[in-house]
Amino acid sequence: MDRMLVVVFNNEPKAYEGKQALLQLDGEGSISVYAYAVLAKRADGTTTVKQDDDWGPIGTLLGTSFGSLIGVLGGPAGVAIGATAGALTGGAVDLNNVRIGDDFIDDVTKTLTPNKVALVAEIEEEWTTPVDSRMEAIGGTVFRRALSDVEDTIHDENVAAMKADLAQFKAEHAKAHADRKAKLQEKVNQLDSKIQAQLQKARERREAAERQAEAKVQVLKAKAAAAKAKAS
């Protein structure tokens, strides 16, 4: 199952130790690690990403849920992450692309207090014990959540509601007197623009998801080939 993982540590060395443990689990075949980053919460509450040239195999894909989560965890002030991570999150963070619930974000941010450091990763795991046992032994507090497609449903319902309103405005426009037609037409134009913007966002998310899925397939194929070569 694909999951988002956040492990909060008391200091940076422990977070890097956690990252190495995560990559070791990947090497052992216990999990697959698709993207990762180490975030440090400064004393003033801002967040910085450490070693922002090291993201894992799919970490630099634009529009990914991983990139959006990195942006969200930066808090209201945003993430002080430099050019590479800025490209990762695509500039503005699309909250609809995070694909995990607000409660998960709240739980993480309550624990990721100033001067603490988090290891953030997108992984595939069949069971939770390997990661939990390694991270807890290092002193990390583990948060995980399966990636959800619920936002697609919310988006579809939102667009359907706007289209219903648009149809109503058009019907009223057709019957309206001249003094009302201009106002109704303005509403039609505004709502149609919103619908087109929503549809464009949906297309971008689908394209990003397709790129991410293909990248994950390539990662798994490379691991299988490496395992086969090692066995032969």
Last residue of a domain, one of 129, 148, 167: 148
Range of the domain at 27: 2-148
The verdict on 89 and 10 lying in the same domain is: yes
The verdict on 108 and 134 lying in the same domain is: yes
CB 74 within 8 A of CB 123: no
The verdict on 15 and 29 lying in the same domain is: yes
Last residue of a domain, one of 113, 148, 183: 148
The verdict on 115 and 8 lying in the same domain is: yes
Residue 96: per-residue pLDDT: 56
Residue 75: per-residue pLDDT: 57
The verdict on 216 and 166 lying in the same domain is: yes
Residue 97: per-residue pLDDT: 61
Residues of the chain whose pLDDT is less than 50?
Answer: 76-93, 150
The verdict on 111 and 94 lying in the same domain is: yes
CB 81 within 8 A of CB 72: no
Q: How many CB atoms lie within 10 A of CB 36?
A: 22
207/64 Cα distance (integer angstroms): 10
**CA 231 to centroid of chain Cα atoms:** 35
The verdict on 163 and 130 lying in the same domain is: no
Q: Where are the alpha helices (DSSP H) in 29-149?
A: 65-73, 82-89, 102-111, 129-138
Q: Is 87 exposed, middle or buried (0-12, 13-18, 19+ CB in 10 A)?
A: middle
HEC-encoded secondary structure of 103-125: HHHHHHHHHCCCCCEEEEEEEEE
The verdict on 29 and 78 lying in the same domain is: yes
The tally of domains found in the chain comes to 2
Residue 81: per-residue pLDDT: 38
Which amino acid is it at 135? M
Q: Where are the alpha helices (DSSP H) in the chain?
A: 12-28, 65-73, 82-89, 102-111, 129-138, 150-175, 178-231
pLDDT in tens, 107-134: 898 999 999 999 999 999 888 899 999 9
151/65 Cα distance (integer angstroms): 12
Last residue of a domain, one of 148, 182, 209: 148
Residue 142: per-residue pLDDT: 94
The verdict on 174 and 225 lying in the same domain is: yes
